Amino acid sequence: MAEKKVALNLIRNIGIIAHIDAGKTTTTEAILYRTGLSHKIGEVHSGDTTTDWMEQERERGITITSAAVTCFWKDHKINIIDTPGHIDFTAEVERSLRVLDGAVVVFDGKMGVEAQSETVWRQASKYGVPRICFINKINQIGGDFYKSLDSIHGRLTKNALPIHLPIGFEKNINGVVDLIDMKAYIYDDFADHELKVAEIPADMVEKAQNARNLLVEKAVEYDDELFERYLEKGEESISIDELKGALRKAVLSGEFFLVAGGDGRGVIVEKVLDLVNEYLPSPEDIKEVWGTNPKNGDEIKRDLTTSEPLSALAFKIATDPFVGKLIFIRVYSGKLTSGATILNATTGDKERIGRIVRMHADKREEISEIEAGDIAAVVGLKNTATGTTLCDPAHPIQLESITFVDPPVSIAVEPKTKSDQEKMGVALQRLTEEDPTFRVHTNEETGQTILQGMGELHLEIYIDRMKREFGVEANTGEPQVAFRESIKGTSDVQGKYIKQSGGRGQYGDVWIKFEPNEAGKGFEFVDAVKGGVVPQEYRSAVKNGVQETLNNGVIAGYPVVDVKATLHDGSYHDVDSSELAFKMAASIATKDGIKQATPVLLEPVMKIVIITPEDFMGDVIGDLNSRRGRIDEMEDLMGGAKQITGFVPLASMFGYTNDLRSMSQGRAASSMELSHYEEVPPNIAADIIEKRSAK
C-alpha cells in the first residue's frame, strides 16, 4: 500500500534506552497513546503493553527483544525502538544504537543513574548518538528530579542541563516550566487529554530564570555569532528560534544533553515528543555514511539521499510465525522497492526482496518501498545476518558491521526424543540467526549440543522459546563457564609434516614463534618469511592450521586466545608440498609451541553492581568475598541505599540472584556484565582441569 511521504528532515529514528525498570516501555506506551497509535496505555505489570509482545516478556515484566514502532507527531514521523534494560540482552541495545540517529535516555527518578544506565550511556557514546534525558517517576514517593540530575552530573556528564523544571514535588507534581518560552504547562491529572498553558508559579520564577540563564550560556557556546551578540547585548537579544537553533547544534554535537522530567505514563510525554522533534537529529543532519568497496577495500562515501545508490544495514533478525524470517533494516541511501534484486555485500550473493513491512511491535503493515533515512523490515532474504550490508548490485558498498562480545556462559541440552532432535536443529538455527550473542556448537568428545549466552536468564529465555515456539522438549545441564586458555611466555618451534606412501608424498616445514598478545586482542598472525622458503600460496594454509589448532587448548581443551604467531622460516619440496601438508605442519608447531610457552587457564570476570539497603551491607560484602570477589568502590545512593561495585569470577556467581534475595529479604538487586578474562589461581585451575579430564 502507498504510504504518506515524509521529508527527510521530518524523520526521527530514536531509541528508548535505560536501566531495567526505569520505565522505558511505559514511556513508549504513553507516546503511542498520545500519538494516536493505541487507544489505551498498556501496563507492564498487566502484560498488555504494545512493545513487550513476547509471552516471556509479559510473564516477567521485562523487555527482552527490541521492538520497533512508527508514530507521527506534529508532521514528524518517529521510528522508535524500545530496547531491553537487562544486561543479558545488551546486544539488542548495541545493534539498535548502531542504526539510530538519536536516543531518549530514561532514568528512574527514585534511583537516579543506575548500573545499566551507565552501560547504555557508554554504548550511545561509542556510536556517537545524540540524546536527551527524561527523568521518570518523579511523581512517586522518593522521586526527586534535582537529586537525579545531580547523579547524572556525578556519574555520566556535567554537560547536562534542564530544559523543563517540574512544578510541585512527588505526588503533587502537576506540570513543568518550559525554560525556552518561560511558560508553565500544567495538568489536573497525569492522564489529561491536553496540557494547559499557564503563568510560571510565583515561587518558581527566580529558579526558572536562573536555570534559563545557564541554558542560554551553554547554547551560545555552539554558535559564534550568537556568542558575540550575547556578550555585547545580553540574553534579551536572542530570540526563541535562535536559542532553539543553538541548543539543537549543542545536542547534535553529542557532547551536550537536555534534561526533562515527569510521569512517563502521562500527558507530559507530549513535551518529550516536542523535544525529540526539535532537538534530536533527522537523517538529513547525519548527511553521509562511509563504507568500503568489497572488491578492493577502497573507502566510499554515500550521501543520505534517495538519489544515491542503495545502501542499507540489516541490524536485527526476527522469526515471525506468519511471514517467516523478518530482517529489520535501516536504509542509508537510495530506496528499496519490494521485488527488487539487491546485493548482499557481506556474502557477495544477490537476493530478491519479497515484501517490505512497517512494523508496529509484532504487527505488520505492508508498504511498497522504503527510502533513505527510514527503518522497516523485509521478508524473503535467506542469507542475511545481523550486520549485513544490502546494496545496489551495480554500486557495491560494505558498511561498518556490528561487533558483539563472546558469550561467557554455556549449558548442555539434549532433546528428549528423536522427533525433538529434528525440531531442535531447526529451532536453534532460527534462534542463532536472531541473536549474535546466542551461539551453538557440538562438543566433539561427548556429542552434546552446547548453548552459549550472556547469562543464566539469557539461556533460560531461549530454552523456553524452543519449547513454546518450536515444540522442543529438552533436558538441560547445569550452566557452565566458558573458560579460555592463553600463554604467558614465548616459544619458537618447528613443525614438520612428512608423509611418503608411494606416489606423491606430503611435505611441509615451518618455524613459528608464539608470544602473548595484548589482552582482548585475540589471535594475530604475522607473516615474516623472507625469500621463498615458504611459498606465498601456502602461507594462508599455515595461518588456518594455527587458528584451527588454537580452538582446542593444551591444558583442558578450551580455546586459546590472545596469542601472536609469527611465521618466520621453513622449507618446501617442489613436488610433495601442498596446502594440506603446510596446514598439518602448522598444527604440529602450534601444539608444541603452546605447551612450551607457559600456558595458563583464564576465566571470565564479571563487573557486578549491587544496590542494597545499608542493613545488609555486611552480609553482601562477606558473601562476595567468599566468592573470590573484590570490591572496587562503595557509594551512597538516593533513598538511603548503598551501591557496591566489584569484580567477581563468573564461576562462583551461578544462582546469585536468588542468594542475594535471601540474604536481603528481597530488598537488594544486582546486575552483572562481562568485564575481562584473567588467570585462574593455580589451586582452582587444577580442580577445573581434573574435572574436565574426568569428562
pLDDT at 276: 95
Sign of CA dihedral 446, 450, 456, 460: negative
480 or 59, greater pLDDT: 480
587 or 502, greater pLDDT: 587
| Residue 547 near residue 590 (C-beta atoms within 8 A) | no
Question: Mind spelling out the 3-state secondary structure of 330-343?
Answer: EEEECEEECCCEEE
Question: Tens digit of pLDDT for each residue in 591-647?
Answer: 999 999 999 999 999 898 888 888 889 999 999 999 999 999 998 877 678 889 999
At residue 389, the 3 state secondary structure works out as strand
Query: Domains of the chain (ranges plus CATH)?
Result: 11-215+252-283 (3.40.50.300), 288-399 (2.40.30.10), 412-475 (3.30.70.870), 489-597 (3.30.230.10), 602-694 (3.30.70.240)
**For the residues 459-488, what does the mean pLDDT come to?**
86
| Residue 49 near residue 26 (C-beta atoms within 8 A) | yes
**For the residues 506-513, what does the mean pLDDT come to?**
94
Amino acid at 640: G
594 or 29, greater pLDDT: 594
C-alpha cell at position 190? 497525569
Whole-number Å distance between alpha carbons of 122 and 392: 33
| Residue 139 near residue 167 (C-beta atoms within 8 A) | no
pLDDT at residue 316 greater than cutoff 90: no
**For the residues 362-382, what does the mean pLDDT come to?**
83
**For the residues 137-159, what does the mean pLDDT come to?**
92
According to the per-residue pLDDT averaged within each range, which of 225-234, 494-503, 560-569 is highest? 560-569
| Residue 63 near residue 57 (C-beta atoms within 8 A) | yes
Question: Tens digit of pLDDT for each residue in 332-367?
Answer: 999 999 889 999 998 888 988 888 888 765 567 888
The mean pLDDT value of the chain amounts to 85
Phi and psi at 341, nearest 5°, equal -100, 130
What pTM was computed for the model?
Answer: 0.73
pLDDT at 215: 94
pLDDT at residue 482 greater than cutoff 80: yes
**For the residues 433-457, what does the mean pLDDT come to?**
79
pLDDT at 46: 42
- 564, 641, 573: which is closest to 609 by C-alpha? 641
pLDDT at residue 497 greater than cutoff 50: yes
Q: How confident is the model at residue 44 (pLDDT cuts 50, 70, 90)?
A: very low
